[in-house]
Structure 1
């Protein structure tokens, strides 16, 4: 049997990782400035993370959600305290797409409406409803298309108001990323988010903040939307939540009523996933990683802002989009193969996406800054 060939692969086979570095099967060392799509939040193989997972393996790895699991309660308590959403409730699942699926379903259960408003440039996942609110026709199969899903332009208040004027009574939820990642580090304006919240309240529409990539301290706030003082009805999270262990979460405002069987999952909230997520929160708190994201992100931006071929820098914390005056693929390949640094791209071909671990150190950022300068000056 062969693998189903859906991924364009770099000819690199990492076999070891520590902190912000990877090593391949030939012994080459790489600086990880992408974290596998913002998944590696506290660095590879953090000692506290490793210890907690190894100890849990000696106890119990999994049982279903038909029994009590005190680790889920501990995770919910610590997540509430660190995020500031202590009065919310937590539903645990396995991925960002699954979190968004459950958020959309819960919103529809709540108000009995069926339409969903999403935005240009969005990415919410590849599963049924999640991909239907993702702005990429290449990955939306015919079975996923429906008139229930309405697209509005990013940061366009006038179009937003027009859509609500015409269809507001049928719109169950609005789903929006705290910061668009795949879309190219696109940041919503405070006026835009404020208007969305206003219209949602007026029309009994649920506001879903997708913080799968922009959350967990990535933006310099626990969740990116919190910078704007907006209250979300539902927040979804995943990626950095488990530092590589598959885990996702739906944070649910207390106005939503739970009932037996309303939502469900086989693997979500299993013992190992909870321990991984608890370890991440412990490290984030004890090592002040949200503050470090703010500090290191600002440092990187200040150091690179005058480099040639950079048109703009879109950044919150350590969620950084470097817009070049050309397709970024040549720069990205040069950084990878000549300087051994992993970076990312986006749907905007000119944007180089930077998502290092939240505990990145100055000496490691300097390696990236020096390499980027060399590459851009030699274009």
Structure 2
């Protein structure tokens, strides 16, 4: 038997990691400025995170959602405190795709409608409805294309107004900062217009915070930069710092009923312990503020680089758009500079998604390495 060959792989085999350092089987150390698609939020092998999970594993690692799990209630309280999302209820699942799948399903239940508005260069996951709202025909199978999705240009008021007049949409799904798409953002005016229009027309607004949430943008959620209130917020990635966990925050105006949503593994004891550890470290180490401050420092440093057309993003969800395609640059950074960075649908964009507890000296090392490859 072989692995199903769907991933182009770099010739690096990590065997251990701590902070933003990853060590391969040869003993070589790499600086991780990508965090496995923004997953590593508090650093690899953070001692509090490791101890939280180990301690929980000694007690109970899993039971289904047919029993009481006090860790879920502890998680709800902590999440409300740090996110300041007081008028929401939490449903836990296992991944970002599953979070968006449940968000879209719930929107359809709530409204009795089935059509969805999504935006150009969006990425919301690889499962049925989530992938249908992802702007990438190459990963949409015929079975996914049965979904009724209208893709609109980001920040196009006229196109949005024309689409919304049909009054048969259950949801608008939107990333406050596009991840895979290349760090584009809705303007505050556009986001607020969408929120107001959705409310007036009984349409569910879904804020996809799978990649931008949990402090990455310099606020707990990236939509909070725009002073709006979504109906559903999808979360995952940095939520578990590598442990598979996801969820949706559901506004109290959307009512629950038994059997409406469900999951076997979602919200299990280990997942809750991992997420609680992340929240505790974010709070104790003031990492959301650190994300904001170091994002500003990164942008200052980036102005010194040659070939940069645009600096994109917020906090530590950042992108450098060059006047050339970056695939070869990424390879050189890995193999010559021992540094991980990411790509996107925008082939000229280098994506930077480090742990939120990096330092200015780490950013200096990043730019020193990058400058060597831009000579």
TM-score interval, smaller chain = over 0.9
Q: Is the 8 A contact 2:95 2:245 kept in 1?
A: yes
CA shift, 1:345, in A, is 0.3
Per the alignment, residue 354 of structure 1 pairs with 352
CA distance in 2, matches of 1:293, 1:97: 25
CA shift, 1:306, in A, is 2.6
CA distance in 1, matches of 2:78, 2:236: 16
Q: Which of structure 1's runs of 4+ aligned residues deviate more than 4 A?
A: none
Per the alignment, residue 100 of structure 1 pairs with 100
Per the alignment, residue 68 of structure 2 pairs with 68
CA shift, 1:218, in A, is 0.4
CA shift, 1:154, in A, is 1.1
Q: CA RMSD in A?
A: 0.7
Match runs of 1:84-99 below 5 Å: 84-99=84-99
| 2:144 paired with 1:144 | yes
Per the alignment, residue 219 of structure 1 pairs with 217
TM-score for both structures, normalised by structure 2: 0.99
Describe the SS at the equivalent of 1:90: strand
Per the alignment, residue 42 of structure 1 pairs with 42
CA shift, 1:195, in A, is 1.2
CA shift, 1:147, in A, is 5.8
Q: Is the 8 A contact 1:97 1:124 kept in 2?
A: yes
CA distance in 2, matches of 1:147, 1:208: 17
Per the alignment, residue 203 of structure 1 pairs with 201
| 2:358 paired with 1:368 | no
Count of residues in correspondence between the two structures: 375
Per the alignment, residue 302 of structure 2 pairs with 304
CA distance in 2, matches of 1:7, 1:330: 17
Per the alignment, residue 257 of structure 1 pairs with 255
TM-score for both structures, normalised by structure 1: 0.98
CA distance in 1, matches of 2:21, 2:147: 46
Describe the SS at the equivalent of 2:248: strand
Per the alignment, residue 192 of structure 1 pairs with 190
Per the alignment, residue 121 of structure 2 pairs with 121
| 2:32 paired with 1:32 | yes
Q: Is the 8 A contact 2:177 2:313 kept in 1?
A: no
CA shift, 1:146, in A, is 2.8
CA shift, 1:86, in A, is 2.1
Structure 2 residues without counterparts, runs of 5 or longer: none
CA distance in 2, matches of 1:304, 1:117: 35
CA distance in 1, matches of 2:110, 2:330: 45
Show CA shifts across 1:64-98 (max 9, x none): 00000000000111001100002210000000000
CA distance in 1, matches of 2:57, 2:372: 45
Per the alignment, residue 11 of structure 2 pairs with 11
